[in-house]
Structure 1
């Protein structure tokens, strides 16, 4: 076999994997680009004669990629749930504290990541190890849809293991309360968790305000 004959299936496989990944992350953009490319080729290869076979193969590949991408998207919440069930990694055995990040970032009015960073820094200054939970909608409130787990970790000055961006169409409350109870950690939030009273029962809640640009925590 020639080098071209060896490399061709490898390149096609990598292209398929990349297409599946794009479908799983940016579904509508990828489908839009696919439709545009299909319309371009349709001008030179109409649905007739021998072309029907190739259009059928292309359609089958796209459909298979779509199924694989949907499987990845459905699997993500399970992966996140497994991550949240793990025992937290504490540096130097510092006591941990859970932060309701989506609640805290509104403490000074509009959603602001600097407000959340100020609370994180205050807790770290008190030798506490913060674990921040965020709704998937947090990035939209902040006006930056590109923010992911790594982006939040960098912005807040913590490790990736200390940030939990919960799956879309779920509430961070369920995850953070479960995590806090299983690891005997207090929760920083002004939320009363009235709709999850059973989960919140027995947990220490630390409330706070922003005064003079600095966080003041009550019950720490």
Structure 2
């Protein structure tokens, strides 16, 4: 692990630690049903994280700030930790640990496998044809970019952990929800047994399987009807 990757892990560990505290505060001050829907929870947590990161000594010392996208826009991350030379996009997953949850965006894959943030920001790779072509052309095993997941349990406020695209151990192909789905409990621990090239191939092959499943009903239709 290089120093920048290790630093990112320290940042994510601090975010997990704070999230557990924020969850406890929410429960103490609420008379409502604690199991919020995902959107409300994400709004609650990003607001709390913004206050924390703007005041915390560690984040100030390292000149780190938080970027929260406009909630009216469909963004590929819920918040990002940013500084000079650092961009850590994070997807909050408020879910049950043993159920499949959607990755939700193909941009997280693209950023992790290419490091090409410019094309994403300029909306150059929105359709699948351009996206896949650009992914192949810009694939880089040397890039150090990653896409992070912050898993927060709906049933246990203390159960919070993070992982990232490069550390995912188990993926579920999904034709209904490409690029694929994740079972949080099967990805609780950072998986380090694949090389970068092996992990990239694992992700790409799962994406391929999802797209095959997505197209399967149409292929079956063509077998039965001539129109």
Higher-helix-fraction structure: 1
Length-normalised TM-score, structure 2: 0.26
- Structure number with bigger Rg: 1
